[in-house]
Structure 1
Amino acid sequence: IILSRIKDFRNKPFPTRVKVEYSKNVLTVSIDDGMTAAPRYQLCMRAENIFLPRNGYFGISAATGGLADDHDVLDFSVYSLHSEAPRPSTSEQLPHDEKQKYDAEFEKQMHEYESERQKFKEAHPDKAKEDEMDDPLKYFEDSTARELRLIYEAQNGIHQVMKSMDERLREIQTTQRSGAQPVQNVQSGGGGSVGAGVPSFAAHEKNEVLQTLRDMSSSLKDMKSYVNEIFTKTYNLEQKWGQGPPNQNGGVGGGGGGAALPDSAAHQK
């Protein structure tokens, strides 16, 4: 044993940390008291002229003397320290003639690859794809373009929801008409009884239909406000790009009436 130190590490609020550093034949050990979440290392020992074997290992032992304790190791990290000595560059490691040989071989392989790829494109034009790697901008999206894309996707989603609501309203209207028709027939026939096979509209069903209509009306009002906001953002983006106000065919109102179009569109739905 070169050096030793006794340190109380039991029953601490935070894990106790030990940092062992071996550089230039100098062994340094620092220890944390485990009283704070952030480590506060204190020098435990420092020994010089320590020559560790090249194939050795760092490890942890719970044995203090002849008795082994029960401890939990939460983390055991090992990393290398590189000296600041300048390393030889690649040009110094390889001779000039050998470097030229490798460069010529690489250029030859690249030329053969391009030739084979061109032949494949000519032989299989349906399977050949465009060289997307030549244009790296295809893999990136501008922030303005992304915002505009999200707006268009939101518009499409709102359109699908409103279309579904329109179909639901048509079904409710058809059900109302089919339920009101027998009542009218009974009233015109002098109060006769309704046939057994004719569907009737109960009071609770009418209340459910009315409540559904109220909920849909409230949802349409919320969507109308959201569409107004989306159209305003789209108009501002188009103005920023210098393309003028969007036209009505694209689903966005003009510059002077951008806020009024969602009202008319919602009423039409």
Structure 2
Amino acid sequence: SNRCFTKHTFRKSYFLEINVFSSLMAILDAIPSSDQIRIAPSLKSQRGSVWTKTKAAFENWELEVTFRVTGRSRIGADGLAVWYTENQGLEGPVFGSADMWNGVGIFFDSFDNDGKKNNPAIVIIGNNGQIHYDHQNDGANQALSSCQRDFRNKPYPVRAKITYYQKTLTVMINNGFTPDKNDYEFCAKVENMIIPAQGHFGISAATGGLADDHDVLSFLTFQLTEPGKEPPTVDKEISEKEKEKYQEEFEHFQQELDKKKEEFQKDHPDLQGHPTDEMFESVGDRELRQVFEGQNRIHLEIKQLNRQLDMILDEQRRYVSSLTEEISKRGAGAPGQTFQQELDTVVNTQHEILRQVNEMKNSMSETVRLVSGIAHPGPAAGVYDTTQHFNDIKEHLHIVKRDIDSLAQRSMPSNERPKCPELPPFPSCLSTVHFVIFVVVQTVLFIGYIMYRTQQEAAAKKFF
């Protein structure tokens, strides 16, 4: 599909010029600064949101949201939400926005309200304007799709790519482990998703008894068009009066920026150019760079393995679904009882394989957690801590490899499984007759030696 950048957007260049920003967005209790917007600060019971002032009439669209959620507690609250609704949410109890919305919300929920230990999580919830959000159970019964991802306190900003194309909503997530902006992985997908034809884009956040800083660095909106169709031009969407206004504001901002640069250079002539210390890499910087490079390689390998496991898991789920439907059609008292038993056996085997794949994914999640721990060693941590982390990662990778080998052995037919060659019968090296003869001869020789030695000693005594 083709992407066309739209005006329903804010990013760093808009933060510096509040007039330009406020002409496009409605700020509700949020705090804009020079490089980000703090939707909700790390204070108890705070709410905030930012909404587009004009409605978007896109048949297909895509959002790219870059944000940070940081806090000093081990557990955060409450979370952040990205919206596409018929009307602006304003202030409300659902992550800082109004309840009973008409549209879809993608919730980045960091607090575990239902106590099931399934947070932080990313949840997709739709609403037709008549349903109250079940906040106490984290919307578990209302979720259309979800995935568990930890988006708090990451070394790099977290990125979410939300795509609505041909009535299918897809969420991709960049967990912020690496500086690669395109390092996305699949999170959730909802097919046959019906949303309003026109709506407002928005982002909101809220805190509760616990509090995190919820900062948004960019909110990019794209209109998608099918291949072969002519993408809409931006000139037709924006009137000439608006274009002239934005152009004047941009030129004014550019002049102010150039003026500030000249004043700074005059006031700080000693800072012009590059300091000589920054031209060389210190030993600590080099070691830190090597650690990050190794961490990135491990993360890419784990990501590739995770994709393969996702493919296996989806394939097994389709098999289980088709077999279950076949069993339900035949019924319990059908004549093909033997065939039904075989289907039951296959279904049980598929469930066992699904369980093992889930265990491997959990093991890989633990490995990813260990990899992320390398990025922030404590003040007392050194080479020993880094080595210990890599040893733990190596151990988890061995466990994953062993589970995959076990899964491959279970999937292989019994007649094709490799068998060890049988050992030949151990040969008998000495018979009973030979053993008796050997013992008798050895005894005779021993007695003869004793008699000979006794005669020699008696002769010696007679001589003296």
TM-score (norm 1): 0.29
Q: Which has the bigger relative contact order, CA under 8 A and spacing at least 6?
A: 2
Richer in strand (by share): 2
Richer in helix (by share): 1
TM-score (norm 2): 0.18
- Greater radius of gyration (CA): 1
